[in-house]
Amino acid sequence: MNSGFDVQSANSTSQISECKLRYLLLLIYLVVVFRLWIMPLGASLWLDETLTYWNVMKGVSHVFERSAACAGQFQLYMFITALSTKFFGLNEFGLRLPSIIASIGSSWLIFRIGQKFSDTETGIFTAILFVCIPQVYLYASNARPYALVILCSLWALWQLIKLHDTGNWRHVAGYSVAAASMVYMHYISATFLIVLVFYSVLKLKRTVAYKVFWANFALIVLITPLLLLIFTTSKDTAIISFVDTPTISELIKAVISSYVITYIIILLACKVFLRNKVRHFLPLYDTRITFFVTLWLFLPIVTCYIVSIVSDYKIFVDRYYIISYSGLALLLASALQKIRHTMFRHMALISLCVISVSTFGVTPSNHSEDWRGALAAVKTIAEPMQIPIFFNSGLVETLQPNWEHQSADDHLLSPLSAYPVKTRVIPLPPVLNAKSTPYLASKITNEISSQNRFIVVLRRLSNKNWVDKWIQEYSIPRGFERREVGPFQGVIVVLYEQKKLT
């Protein structure tokens, strides 16, 4: 009797301890989400987000027309964002709310996928590690489509998993709609369709084979209008880019980032100090799932790399292969489970969370551009005396020589749509080259000659030939003094004033 009672008491104690650990993990998840996702909601829009503002600023009825007017804007995402701003205001919160909701949904789905592939604890670890990945948290509170792309990709995979498990027709429909929505959110996400096909190949059963066929057939039907639009619409701007051809070292960094290196160091430390309480760090999943998750991590990254190498389309940018990082979270969570001691397993996870939170924002990125602060300063200086602004947003399309034909409502001036300044704006080219120099030598020199003060506003582009340097070399010998206003993260604001004669 006593022995049975002891066993029952031990089981009860174990369940209570497990319950406490789950609450601890939930608390960790909420703290990390609040710091990395929620707190940045009120920050200034960065350049691409101001383009989202421009697309939705005139309301739902105009969103399709405006998003079709400029390359790289996706109508399904813009429609969702326009609805959000209709109910929550045309501001940073209203613009970013769809991404936050999508990111929370993604963390739930990746928890369920990790749980399905292994167990509940692995699912929880996957969700927390997913939140901490820099590429994920940078876009979680971002008014761009990438968080919704991740949501649709995970939704499509989850529906495909359920389809193979149950053969239910509702999962046929769910998979087709989710996968099609992913492609409509961003064309580059089509690479993940190959990953989904591999899952079907690895898990295919005769009993559901025909339903998988119909699910993919329905997917093709749903995306056919989009394919026709892509192949029949000229996209000359698609090959214009500030991004250079990637190197092999950049490919390695895309997979083995500082986040992964930090994670590996933590695991190795656990192995050194715990010795026999840490098994080998190969993934916990079965062989087929391990192969699938590894393919999930590498395929989108390698595809973007190869396209950038062999073509004029320079798309090797983390946001274009962001889907890969969901697979990374699954692999890392599985490796973490190889620490046998529960307390040390959780300590390793908490250590990574602490490092992610404490280093957030330490390394500047384009996502921390302060257009709001910069243009507020310009507004204060320029509006009272109607000082003209020489302006370039830094959008890649501004490389094209059409600077004289930009209207006040042009998407190339999108930061001024989000944070307006009521004065005359003279468009500038972003860099010095054979096309921009004649424009500067005629239009800009004439403008400078007729002013005794003007302001230059440019996006800070690294390793580029600055137009500001050309203006400085032209203006200073003609009696102008140069004074930089700021500093503002990612944006240069310079006031030129002619010296007073004494």
pLDDT digits (tens, 9 = 90+) for 67-122: 887 777 888 999 999 999 999 999 999 999 999 999 999 999 999 999 999 888 89
Evaluate whether residue 7 is within a structural domain.
Answer: no
pLDDT of residue 352: 87
Q: Are residues 334 and 376 in the same domain?
A: no
Strand partners, 431: 466
Evaluate whether residue 354 is within a structural domain.
Answer: yes
Evaluate whether residue 263 is within a structural domain.
Answer: yes
Evaluate whether residue 250 is within a structural domain.
Answer: no
Q: Are residues 117 and 51 in the same domain?
A: yes
Q: How many domains does the chain have?
A: 2
pLDDT of residue 11: 47
Mean pLDDT of 324-335: 91
pLDDT of residue 1: 47
Q: What is the pLDDT of residues 360-381, one digit of tens each?
A: 876 656 567 899 999 999 999 9
Q: What is the pLDDT of residues 402-441, one digit of tens each?
A: 766 667 778 888 999 999 999 989 888 877 777 778 888 8
Q: How many CB atoms lie within 10 A of CB 318?
A: 19
Q: Are residues 283 and 377 in the same domain?
A: no
Mean pLDDT of 130-145: 92
Q: Are residues 197 and 334 in the same domain?
A: yes
Sign of torsion over alpha carbons 44, 80, 109, 324:
negative
Q: What is the mean pLDDT of the chain?
A: 84
- Model confidence band, residue 2 (pLDDT cutoffs 50, 70, 90): low
Q: Are residues 386 and 466 in the same domain?
A: yes
Q: Are residues 163 and 293 in the same domain?
A: yes
Evaluate whether residue 2 is within a structural domain.
Answer: no
Of 339, 367, 395, the one marking the end of a domain is 367
Q: What does the block give as tokens for 211? A: 């339903």
pLDDT of residue 38: 93
How far, in Å, CA of 206 to CA of 208, rounded? 6
Of 311, 335, 367, the one marking the end of a domain is 367
Of 367, 402, 425, the one marking the end of a domain is 367
Mean pLDDT of 243-251: 84
Q: Judge contact between 46 and 147, C-beta under 8 A.
A: no
Q: Are residues 204 and 182 in the same domain?
A: yes
- Model confidence band, residue 471 (pLDDT cutoffs 50, 70, 90): confident
Evaluate whether residue 238 is within a structural domain.
Answer: no
Evaluate whether residue 112 is within a structural domain.
Answer: yes
Q: Tell me the one-letter amino acid at 460.
A: R
The residue that leads in pLDDT, 46 or 347, is: 46
Q: Judge contact between 28 and 349, C-beta under 8 A.
A: yes
Q: Judge contact between 486 and 477, C-beta under 8 A.
A: no
Strand partners, 498: 480
- Model confidence band, residue 334 (pLDDT cutoffs 50, 70, 90): confident
Evaluate whether residue 411 is within a structural domain.
Answer: yes
Q: Are residues 435 and 470 in the same domain?
A: yes
pLDDT of residue 459: 86
Domain that includes residue 458, residue range: 369-498
Output the pTM of the full model. Answer: 0.89
Q: Are residues 138 and 88 in the same domain?
A: yes
Domain CATH for 469? 3.40.50
